[in-house]
Amino acid sequence: MKKITVQIVIHIAAWLCFLMLPFAFYPRPNPMDVAFFTERYFNPYFIVNTVFIIAFYYCNAYLFVPRLLDRRNFVFYTALILGLMIIYGLMPRIYHAFFGSINFNPNPTAAGARPPGPPRSRPILSAGNIVLFLLVFVFSTGIKVINQWLRTEQRNKEIANEKLKAELGFLKAQINPHFLFNTLNNIYALASVQSEHTAAAVMKLSSIMRYVLTEARNDLVPLEKEIQFTSHYIELQKMRLTDKTIIDFTVQGDPLGRQIAPLLLLPFVENAFKYGISTRERSPIRILLEIKKDSLYFSICNQKHLSTMLRVTDNTGIGISNTKRRLDLFYEDKYALNIEDKSSDFSVKLKIPV
């Protein structure tokens, strides 16, 4: 309601300014002769002329453009506008024919007075009325078309944002069960050998899933929480590993006050533990998180073992392909991702704004 009231006030103010233009631009014989302009511009003919042009503005903006121009009925719309323009151009003669002379001054003999009625030497169409009609036509059509275009763009943007949120939600929903499935496999492996770390692993998983189900629902999470989540995941993985696996997890810089898309680093870390460990060969995994100014530099490198590659059959690539898509959707062209898949090792380097 408040918005409608403001719009009405703006329209009234705009029309008042428009109607006052003659006082500003028309030369008057005496600067103090306000009565001259009152008689000239506020007489029956002026009122009829003004009502016609105001009515045309709103009919064109709210009736002709939406029902004709927007529906591509160009022929009828053009014919209608031309017809109204001709009628408005003939307005002095029409008024003279029905109501008598157009008298701009009650004293025809006074200085500056004009003879009654439109002189015969004048053109059939009033040039002033034609110019005024075209001005109002361009203004009303232009404003309406621009407003509709802006609304369409806003609606398209809202639709795109909704699609983006839906896709991001779907991608995160894919990560959660995939991550849970792999982690439960790890705990199952601990339980099958009756490891003393099984209970601690379950508690660690509970803490991790709490993060996944609460914080990860947001578009952005505090960087320190994402780092803590990654650290907990690494600790959970260590419980099932032998001394052949050497993990170097380093965090440099201050994460406080920084934010990151949730579960963004997990697929790369998970991939390293999935394909980069061996029970018979030395298996180093190096993870570095470096925070500089407004960017986060993440790198991870692991060796590739033929025995592990042959043993692991779940090679769907959901995690990394999913993360690439999330990076494209969330960070667009503001990130840099470099993946090197060599015969002996696999490395990832990622830079994102935080």
Residue 219: CATH number of its domain: 3.30.565.10
Q: Give a yes or no: residue 139 inside a domain.
A: yes
Given a cut of 80, is residue 134 above it in pLDDT?
Answer: yes
Question: Dihedral, CA atoms, 67, 72, 74, 75, nearest 10 degrees?
Answer: -90
Greatest CA separation found in the chain?
119
For residues 27 and 29, give the distance between their C-alpha atoms in angstroms, rounded to a whole number: 7
Clarify whether residues 130 and 39 are in a common domain: yes
Clarify whether residues 19 and 136 are in a common domain: yes
Smallest Cα–Cα separation from 352: which of 240, 226, 236, 228? Answer: 226
Q: Give a yes or no: residue 173 inside a domain.
A: no
Residue 88: domain span: 2-156
Kindly report the average pLDDT of the chain as a whole number.
Answer: 79
Once rounded to an integer, what is the mean pLDDT over residues 236-247? 83
Are 318 and 174 a contacting pair, CB within 8 Å? yes
Q: Give a yes or no: residue 174 inside a domain.
A: no
End position of a domain, from candidates 129, 156, 183: 156
Strands 283-292 and 295-303 come out as antiparallel
Clarify whether residues 144 and 199 are in a common domain: no
Residue 347 phi, psi (nearest 5):
-135, 150
Smallest Cα–Cα separation from 241: which of 275, 205, 278, 268? Answer: 278
Given a cut of 50, is residue 109 above it in pLDDT?
Answer: no
Clarify whether residues 218 and 329 are in a common domain: yes
Q: Give a yes or no: residue 121 inside a domain.
A: yes
According to the model, what pLDDT value does residue 258 have?
Answer: 94
Given a cut of 70, is residue 108 above it in pLDDT?
Answer: no
Q: Around 58, how many Cα atoms within 13 Å sit in the side-chain half-sphere? A: 9
pLDDT tier at 149, thresholds 50, 70, 90:
confident
Q: For the chain, how far is it from start to end, CA to CA, in angstroms?
A: 41
Using the Cα atoms of residue 8, residue 9, residue 14 and residue 19 in order, give the sign of their dihedral. positive
Clarify whether residues 82 and 134 are in a common domain: yes
Clarify whether residues 253 and 149 are in a common domain: no
Q: Give a yes or no: residue 85 inside a domain.
A: yes
Clarify whether residues 81 and 214 are in a common domain: no
For residues 264 and 254, give the distance between their C-alpha atoms in angstroms, rounded to a whole number: 19
End position of a domain, from candidates 156, 180, 208: 156
Three-state secondary structure call for residue 246:
strand
Strand partners, 347: 301, 340
**Residue 142, exposed/middle/buried by CB under 10 A (0-12, 13-18, 19+)?**
exposed
According to the model, what pLDDT value does residue 343 have?
Answer: 83
Which of 67-76, 92-101, 245-254, 312-321 has the lowest average pLDDT? 312-321
Q: Which residues contact 171 (CB under 8 A, 6 or more apart)?
A: 322, 325, 326, 329
According to the model, what pLDDT value does residue 1 have?
Answer: 60
Using the Cα atoms of residue 235, residue 236, residue 240 and residue 241 in order, give the sign of their dihedral. negative
End position of a domain, from candidates 101, 135, 156: 156
Are 348 and 299 a contacting pair, CB within 8 Å? yes
Three-state secondary structure call for residue 351:
strand
For residues 7 and 1, give the distance between their C-alpha atoms in angstroms, rounded to a whole number: 10
Number of domains present in the structure of the chain: 2
Residue 186, CA distances (Å) to 49, 135, 141, 234, 241 in order:
85, 76, 67, 12, 10
Q: Give a yes or no: residue 181 inside a domain.
A: no
Q: Give a yes or no: residue 66 inside a domain.
A: yes
Once rounded to an integer, what is the mean pLDDT over residues 192-217? 80
Question: What would the pLDDT profile of 289-302 be if each residue is shown by its tens digit?
Answer: 999 989 999 999 99
Clarify whether residues 104 and 223 are in a common domain: no
Q: Give a yes or no: residue 182 inside a domain.
A: no
Clarify whether residues 123 and 248 are in a common domain: no
Three-state secondary structure call for residue 125:
coil
Are 61 and 144 a contacting pair, CB within 8 Å? yes
Clarify whether residues 152 and 202 are in a common domain: no
Clarify whether residues 134 and 214 are in a common domain: no
According to the model, what pLDDT value does residue 3 have?
Answer: 72
Is the pTM value of this prediction over 0.75?
Answer: no
Clarify whether residues 215 and 266 are in a common domain: yes
Q: Around 354, how many Cα atoms within 13 Å sit in the side-chain half-sphere? A: 29
User: In this structure, what token pair is assigned to residue 112?
Assistant: 């500056």
Given a cut of 50, is residue 274 above it in pLDDT?
Answer: yes
